[in-house]
Amino acid sequence: MQQAFIKQSEPLVSMAGSSSKMTIYPSYFLQGMPGTAEDLFLRKGVADKLLAIAAQLPEGRKLVLIDGWRSLETQRFIYTQTVAQFRKAGHSEEKIKKEMPGFVAYPSTDPAKPAPHQTGAAIDLTLADEKGWLEMGTDFDDFTEVAYLDYYEGKTELSPKERQARDNRRRLKQLMEDAGFTHNPSEWWHYSYGDRSWAQAHHETQLYGGIVPER
Ligand SMILES: C[C@@H](N)C(=O)N[C@H](C)C(=O)O
Ligand SMILES: [Zn+2]
């Protein structure tokens, strides 16, 4: 029997031009991936939370939204491409199996067990100021341990650039967690509100299921 997600009827809304303190950088569209659009969509409730975070940012600071709702086609493409990259880099099949769930979720055709971005409740994002994206220590989608959210925590010998990255990751985490989002320990850029990992972290019921309009 299909699980009833209590906010499943909530619409996806466009984030393009939604706030002067928020920009979109639809990375997968810009990389020419299949199933992408030159816009970024999120569940209305998730979008409202991000708009509230953006509104409280200091002058000159912005949120940069990199990816939100993701089609099955795009999730499949990223998954397949990343497995191929890991194999090319010489990673063992055991290492790939262990690391993939943290870096790229398995593409699901079951709306009751969706990959996080298929729900429209997961967001990849960063912070920017007048000079550009803030230092975070790695690029977006750098699938190495340096991207782990806590990578710089507990390290005593940090360069000035690494200290900046640690502090900026902390800033983003604080903003997101204060608004009720949950983080992905493997990726400093990935947060969610209302999907399965959020439900597990908050001892709540998952609010949103997948939106899988494709074959
Ligand atoms: C692919 C990356 N940007 C991402 O979103 N990873 C998480 C784990 C996902 O695919 O849900
Ligand atoms: Zn993500």
Q: Is the CB of 195 under 6 A from ligand 1?
A: no
Q: Is 124 known to sit in a ligand binding site?
A: yes
Mean per-residue pLDDT for 160-173? 98
- Interface ipTM: 0.99
Residues 127-132, mean pLDDT to the nearest whole number? 98
Ligand 1 closest atom vs CA 122? 11
> In the structure, what pLDDT confidence band is assigned to residue 3 with cuts at 50, 70 and 90?
low
Model confidence over 67-111: pLDDT tens digits? Answer: 999 999 999 999 999 999 999 999 999 999 999 999 999 999 887
Per-residue pLDDT of 132-151, as tens digits, reads 999 999 999 999 999 999 99
State the distance from the centre of ligand 2 to the C-alpha of 190, rounded, in angstroms. Answer: 4
Nearest CA to ligand 1 atom 2: 104
Q: Which residues are the active-site residues?
A: 187
What does pTM read for this prediction?
0.96
pLDDT of residue 215: 46
Task: Determine whether the shortest distance from the Cβ of 100 to ligand 1 is under 6 A.
Answer: no
3-state secondary structure the chain: CCCCCCCCCCCEEECCCCCCCEEECCHHHHCCCCCCCCCCEEEHHHHHHHHHHHHCCCCCCEEEEEECCCCHHHHHHHHHHHHHHHHHCCCCHHHHHHHHHHHCCCCCCCCCCCCHHHHCCEEEEEEEECCEECCCCCCCCCCCHHHCCCCCCCCCCCCHHHHHHHHHHHHHHHHHHHCCCEEECCEEEEEECCCHHHHHHHCCCCCCCCCCCCC
Atom 7 of ligand 1, residue of closest alpha carbon: 104
The annotation status of 190 as a binding-site residue, yes or no, is yes
